[in-house]
């Protein structure tokens, strides 16, 4: 029995829950009735029950502010430092998972679970929101055309690693400066240091990194919970949650 929580402080919570439900209900013979339980997470008691946590899209500044006010933030720091737990951050959730964020708001707190530097709101004004069919078949078998939705999305700018050469071929076009003028750089206060390397799962044609994995942690710039298709959620359950 595995408990999958969706952090329910702000943002797209019900969409994730309904995609997981659909993934499980359409494959009853694979999952059985009691293997997976899905809950909303607002308190540390609920978080303690979770084997996996999804941090949804929304507004990373609002999520961290609410986590601070409700006293959940230190528990989230501990949760991301426990490598037996699975975590998936989508969009604002990816920002929260990073160790460093550019174009952040002052006072915004990040959890520091992944050795990545993220640029918040990295797409230009005209691309604030867009949809694109992406080929994820290099890491999700047969998923060749996944309708992928980006909303004021972040990108992964750098892998924070002792080996700087790793970033040499990660260059991407500069992000539109208009988006970056009022932001500051924020670093996580969490001293956690991840024991696995960062793997890049997907880059857009222009080189922007939009999906990464590090150990049991997954980060995506986009919102699979907002497309009709639940296969990304099924892949997450099968390769992350059921593997722990
Ligand atoms: N721009 C938002 C942030 O900084 C993220 C947007 C989203 O989650 N769709 O948190």
pLDDT averaged per 10 residues in sequence order, the chain, 244 residues: 97 96 92 89 98 97 97 98 97 98 92 95 80 95 94 92 67 65 86 91 92 97 94 96 92
**3-state SS assignment for residue 78:** helix
Binding site membership for L-glutamine: which residues? 58-60, 120, 151-152
Give the CATH number for residue 37.
Answer: 3.40.50.880
Q: What is the pLDDT of residue 183?
A: 79
Structure ipTM = 0.96
Cβ of 59 below 6 Å from ligand 1: yes
Q: Are 49 and 83 in contact (CB under 8 A)?
A: no
DSSP alpha helix (H) spans, the chain = 13-25, 28-31, 44-48, 60-69, 73-81, 92-97, 231-239
Cβ of 103 below 6 Å from ligand 1: no
Q: What is the pLDDT of residue 128?
A: 82
Segments forming the whole domain that contains residue 186:
2-243
Cβ of 121 below 6 Å from ligand 1: yes
Q: What is the pLDDT of residue 177?
A: 57
Helix, strand counts (H, E) of the chain: 7, 13
Count of domains forming the chain: 1
Q: What is the pLDDT of residue 162?
A: 65
Q: What is the pLDDT of residue 33?
A: 76
The whole-model pTM stands at: 0.94
Torsion angle in degrees (nearest 10) through CA of 137, 142, 145, 151 = -60
Residue 180 C-alpha to ligand 1 middle, in angstroms?
A: 14
């Amino acid at each position: 029995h595995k408990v999958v929580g969706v952090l329910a402080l702000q943002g797209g919570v019900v969409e994730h829950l309904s995609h997981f439900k659909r993934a499980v209900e359409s494959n009853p013979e694979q999952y059985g009735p009691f293997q997976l339980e899905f809950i909303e997470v607002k308190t540390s008691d609920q978080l303690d029950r979770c084997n996996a946590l999804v941090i949804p899209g929304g507004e990373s500044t609002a999520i961290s502010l609410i986590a601070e006010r409700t006293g959940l933030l230190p528990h989230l720091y501990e949760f991301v430092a426990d490598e037996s737990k699975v975590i998936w951050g989508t969009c604002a959730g990816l920002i929260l998972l990073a160790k460093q964020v550019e174009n952040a708001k002052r006072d915004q707190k990040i959890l520091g679970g992944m050795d990545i530097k993220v640029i918040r709101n990295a797409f230009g004004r005209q691309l604030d929101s867009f949809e694109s069919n992406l080929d994820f078949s290099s890491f999700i078998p047969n998923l060749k055309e996944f309708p992928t939705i980006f909303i004021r999305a972040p990108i992964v700018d750098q892998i924070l690693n002792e080996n700087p050469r790793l970033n040499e071929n990660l260059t991407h076009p500069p992000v539109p400066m208009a988006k970056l003028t009022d932001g500051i750089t924020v670093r996580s206060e969490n001293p956690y240091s991840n024991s696995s390397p960062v793997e890049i799962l997907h880059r857009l044609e222009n080189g922007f990194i939009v999906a990464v994995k590090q150990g049991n942690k997954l980060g995506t710039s986009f919102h699979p919970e907002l497309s009709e298709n639940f296969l990304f959620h099924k892949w997450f359950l099968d390769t992350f949650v059921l593997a722990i």
